[in-house]
């Protein structure tokens, strides 16, 4: 159940009540694709960096260790030892981005595993069954994420099929939630808007899925090749047709700048691999822009990444030390940077929520963007 606490223009400040606790929005979900945050973070670390929601992938966990294994072990929460909300992506994106030799039919998608090449089929029912076995808090609908640019006739057909898949997802999820041996009988389902850069197709689709009374709505198929301006434009076009009293989730986005722009346009859930990926490459976020800790100028820098940051890394370690760890190829280097970056994103979301609560989001956003511009992106 979503409670809209406050609005500022189109920006939403909300509370999403789930069987695994309340999510304060806007929120950034921390990506742990295969039930682990890359960079050797534990679920204790996730708590220390103020993570509210962990995100895992249906596709990866289905291949390894297998969703049946996770179910036998009591579900993903018990398996990972994480009792807060978990969102699982449906596989609809990974199947299209990671696999080769795909064949899309009305039933679903045939593809080869990126691990051992074995032939696999996944359709809406399979995706729901896997996510039900994983017992995540929120399951995502099985969709086709269309690359941009895409021809209009292809997009029309694909979106119509994604709508039919959504109807099948809803039906299958209701059935699974009613079964005796289902671990999370209150699993929630989010629908996903598609339509590439065609605003009219997106709007028609948004209207259609909004009538289906799902637990939340995502905007998918963005950050896949279009410009930032195009992405913001699509969000502006679509958000008015999604229910304001449900969470709005922009999938796979993005940079701190993208997040601020999307919050302003009414988005309240985000996820992205960027903070973890950048951290593994010594790129760290600060309020004055990104730093590259491999830079020679940090060799003798005995200050933290950000002296104002309260994260576990900045409380204790210097740039010079972390730079040395990267040069020496010590795993600790990545862990310290990923922790700082996730803390940075989660803290920015906390600041956004506070700015919305105190009705000063526009000024907050402006100051934040000016700060980021100091060191380039």
Catalytic residue among 45, 67, 89, 306: 89
Of 241 and 317, nearer to ligand GUN (C-beta) is 241
The residues that touch ligand GUN, with contacts defined as CB under 6 A, are 89-90, 92-93, 140, 143, 145, 192, 220-221, 251-252
Nearest-CB residue to ligand GUN? 220
Judged by CB under 5 A, which of 265, 340, 353, 365 binds Zn ion? 340
CA dihedral 269, 271, 275, 277 (to 10 degrees): 180
Of 26 and 304, nearer to ligand GUN (C-beta) is 26
CA 46 distance to own-chain centroid: 15
Q: Would you say the C-alpha torsion 94, 290, 249, 58 has a positive or negative sign? A: positive
35 binds, among ligand GUN, Zn ion, none (CB under 5 to 8 A by kind): none
- The answer to whether 67 is a known catalytic residue is no
Integer Cα distance of 189 and 166 in angstroms: 10
* Cα angle, residue 312 at apex, residues 306 and 313 outer, rounded to 5°: 50
**Residue 314 annotated as part of some ligand binding site:** yes
Q: How far is CA 366 from CA 234, 257, 259, in A?
A: 22, 10, 13
Of 166 and 263, nearer to ligand GUN (C-beta) is 166
**Residue 92 annotated as part of some ligand binding site:** yes
Integer Cα distance of 87 and 266 in angstroms: 20
- The answer to whether 200 is a known catalytic residue is no
CB of 179 to ligand GUN, least distance (A): 24
CB of 256 to ligand GUN, least distance (A): 18
Of 136 and 287, nearer to ligand GUN (C-beta) is 136
**Residue 178 annotated as part of some ligand binding site:** no
Asked if residue 238 lies in contact with residue 191, where contact means CB atoms within 8 angstroms, the answer is: no
192 binds, among Zn ion, ligand GUN, none (CB under 5 to 8 A by kind): ligand GUN
CB of 349 to Zn ion, least distance (A): 15
Asked if residue 245 lies in contact with residue 1, where contact means CB atoms within 8 angstroms, the answer is: no
Strand locations in 214-367 (E): 216-219, 248-250, 269-272, 283-286, 289-292
**Residue 93 annotated as part of some ligand binding site:** yes
314 binds, among Zn ion, ligand GUN, none (CB under 5 to 8 A by kind): Zn ion
Non-local CB neighbours of 10 within 8 Å, separated by 6+ positions: 239, 264, 265, 266
| Terminal CA-CA length for the chain | 36
CB of 340 to Zn ion, least distance (A): 4
252 binds, among Zn ion, ligand GUN, none (CB under 5 to 8 A by kind): ligand GUN
14 binds, among ligand GUN, Zn ion, none (CB under 5 to 8 A by kind): none
Catalytic residue among 45, 67, 215, 271: 271
Of 89 and 264, nearer to ligand GUN (C-beta) is 89
Integer Cα distance of 326 and 332 in angstroms: 8
Asked if residue 323 lies in contact with residue 291, where contact means CB atoms within 8 angstroms, the answer is: no
Judged on CB neighbours under 10 Å (0-12, 13-18, 19+), 273 is: middle
**Residue 216 annotated as part of some ligand binding site:** no
Site string for Zn ion, 301-330 (x = CB under 5 A): --------x-x-xx----------------
Of 50 and 185, nearer to Zn ion (C-beta) is 50
340 binds, among Zn ion, ligand GUN, none (CB under 5 to 8 A by kind): Zn ion
**Residue 89 annotated as part of some ligand binding site:** yes
Integer Cα distance of 134 and 103 in angstroms: 26
Binding-site residues for substrate: 89-93, 143, 194, 221
- Give the interface with Zn ion as residue ranges (CB under 5 A): 309, 311, 313-314, 340
Residues catalogued as catalytic: 89, 271
């Amino acid at each position: 159940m979503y409670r809209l606490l406050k609005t500022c223009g189109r920006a939403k400040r909300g509370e999403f009540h789930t069987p695994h606790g309340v999510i304060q929005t806007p929120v950034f979900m921390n990506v742990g694709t295969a039930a682990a945050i890359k960079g050797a973070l534990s679920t204790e670390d996730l708590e220390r960096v103020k993570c509210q929601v962990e995100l895992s992938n249906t596709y990866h966990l289905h291949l390894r260790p297998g969703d049946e294994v996770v179910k036998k072990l009591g579900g993903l929460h018990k398996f990972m030892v994480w009792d807060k909300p978990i969102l699982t992506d449906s596989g609809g994106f990974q199947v299209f981005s990671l696999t080769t030799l795909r064949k899309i039919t009305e039933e679903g998608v045939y593809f080869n595993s990126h691990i051992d090449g074995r032939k696999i089929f996944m359709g809406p029912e399979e995706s729901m069954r896997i996510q039900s076995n994983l017992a995540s808090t929120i399951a995502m609908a099985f969709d086709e994420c269309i690359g941009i640019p895409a021809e209009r006739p292809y997009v029309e057909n694909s979106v119509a099929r994604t709508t039919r898949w959504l109807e099948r997802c809803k039906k299958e999820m209701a059935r699974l939630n009613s079964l005796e041996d289902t671990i999370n009988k209150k699993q929630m389902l989010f629908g996903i808007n598609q339509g590439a850069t065609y605003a009219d197709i997106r709007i028609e689709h948004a209207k259609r899925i909004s009538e289906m009374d799902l637990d939340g709505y995502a905007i998918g198929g963005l950050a896949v090749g279009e410009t930032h301006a195009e992405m913001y434009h699509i969000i502006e076009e679509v958000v008015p047709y999604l229910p304001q009293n449900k969470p709005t989730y922009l999938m796979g986005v993005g940079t701190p700048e993208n997040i601020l722009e999307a919050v302003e346009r009414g988005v309240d859930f985000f996820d992205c691999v960027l903070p973890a990926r950048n951290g593994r490459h010594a790129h760290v976020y600060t309020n004055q822009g990104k730093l590259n800790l491999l830079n020679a100028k940090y060799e003798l820098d005995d200050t933290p990444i950000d002296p104002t940051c309260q994260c576990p890394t900045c409380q204790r370690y210097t740039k010079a030390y972390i730079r040395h760890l990267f040069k020496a190829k010590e795993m600790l280097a990545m862990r310290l940077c990923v922790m700082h970056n996730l803390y940075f994103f989660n803290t920015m979301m906390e600041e956004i929520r506070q700015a919305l609560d105190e009705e000063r989001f526009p000024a907050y956003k402006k100051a934040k963007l000016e700060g980021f511009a100091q060191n380039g992106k």
